[in-house]
Amino acid sequence: MKTFHSLIFFTFFLLSTFTASAQNGEKVYKMYCTGCHGADLKGTPAGTSLLVENLKYGNEPADISKVISNGIPNTTMIKWGSALPTHEIGELTDYILGIRKKQPTQEKSEEILTFSTEDYTLKVEKLVTEGLVFPWGIEFVDEKRALISGNKGELYWVVDGKLDPKRVTGIPFIYGTDLVGGMMDLALDPNYAENGWIYFAYSHNPKNTADKTSPAMTKLVRGKIKDYQWVEQETLFEAPDSILVSGGTRWGSRLLFDTDGFLYFTTGDMQQSIAEGLNPQLPSRAEGKIFRIYPDGSIPKDNPYYGQEGTLQGIYAVGTRNVQGLAQHPITGKIYFTDHGPKGGDEVNLLKNGGNYGWPVITYGVNYNDSPITSQRSKEGMEQPLTYYDPSIAICAAEFIYGNMFPKWTNNLLITALKDQEIRRLVIEGDKVLSQEVIIKGIGRVRDVKIGPDGAMYVLTNSPDALLRVNPMK
């Protein structure tokens, strides 16, 4: 009997110790970690989700504690070993593991997930799960081949759903390879089959140095691939030295060719200080803009600032924060975009020639520490979003559904989320969002989605880095 009571006491002691550890770990997490990884551990623009199935540096307690203690070079994950005592690192590890264990799992096999939606049961097939490093954008060259851009400065070929082991060489130096910079989106010329032009945007500083204090800005180029070599590069947009930004982040940048052959590309607000925060409003500055140019870089005469001295005449719209989604409606031709906002301020907008989308004068969001950005939600002359997300989902890519694979969803808009790891389907008519549905969730930070030549959805994720194919179950 004495032994039994001792066992009960010991068990109670262990449970009490674990509970106390979890509570202390939660306090440490809220104090030091929410800014990057989010209050719900799902990640933010500054830090990855801690709830993905396989953490990049290992899922075991020792792996997690090691990363907390030693940090990760060239990322926002600093060394906490010198700031936190060993017992707090252990308590923080226990807290993270405890939350991870509570996460629901999808119905899945090793290579296939399924999701039930209002109209279809979706099959999500894992095409490429190894070899991609922070994939950013995908474009199909033909029915069998696609190009994928990688944040660290890679161009990957995918052939018949498999990653080509050979890499494209000769890519320019890529600066700012963090979560919101580096090599970003790519696009193919509407006449690619004849001319071979490929376009991409990337973080750039003229000194070609990794020094994060070097003045820099998003740059747009085009070139061609011949025998795995990047050749014939031409610069289409590069900000003058006088308006480059030091120490900036949030670079943009999504690309879109519309059906009239115009090329749209976006720049982020570069996370400027309060003194420089209004730069997205200024047509003389590159931050926080949507540009429209011809494929050769020349400026359309009906751009709103065409011919105006002291402006960047490629600007089409101002007052955005970090546009990472651009999509043209297959029937109406209207262009919609997603703006990755602050906390509680992700937006879906209708693009207008000369439109001012308000950032940072008006917003529905607040800073990540809950401090106010502005008291204004609307202002004359500034556009209102079609919808916004509070709490934020960390909105990213956008793509309209077309083709024959999803007939019930034809012309619906897909948007992706990084923090919430999801794809949403929006029913849109003109300037109204009539309804929306989360159709996929928990597969990683969804960076891009495209309708492929076969009509399926092709999805790029980060954490884990992967290429997925989505189609209805038969």
Query: Three-state SS across 92-149?
Result: HHHHHHHHHHCCCCCCECCCEEEEECCCCEEEEEEEECCCCCCEEEEEECCCCEEEEE
Residue with tokens 């929006």: 426
d(CA 215, CA 236): 19
Parts of the chain with a pLDDT under 50: 1-19, 105-109
Residue type, 106: Q
User: Residue 265 in 3-state DSSP?
Assistant: strand
Residue 464 neighbours by CB distance under 10 Å: 17
Report the predicted TM-score, pTM, of the whole model to 2 decimal places.
0.79
Give me the pLDDT at residue 10, please.
39
Q: Tens of pLDDT along 49-84?
A: 888 777 878 888 888 888 898 888 756 677 888 778
Q: Where in the chain is the domain with CATH 2.120.10.30?
A: 112-472
d(CA 362, CA 344): 13
Whole-angstrom distance between the N-terminal and C-terminal Cα of the chain? 61
Strands of the sheet with 387-389, listed across from one edge: 323-328, 335-339, 346-350, 387-389
Nearest to 75 by CA among 148, 134, 137: 134
Give me the pLDDT at residue 275, please.
66
Answer whether 184's CB lies under 8 Å from 137's CB: yes
Nearest to 136 by CA among 172, 182, 168: 182
CATH 3.40.50.300 fits 112-472, yes or no: no
Q: Where in the chain is the domain with CATH 1.10.760?
A: 2-32+52-101
Give me the pLDDT at residue 7, please.
41
CATH of domain 2-32+52-101: 1.10.760
Nearest to 59 by CA among 109, 93, 25: 93
Give me the pLDDT at residue 21, please.
55
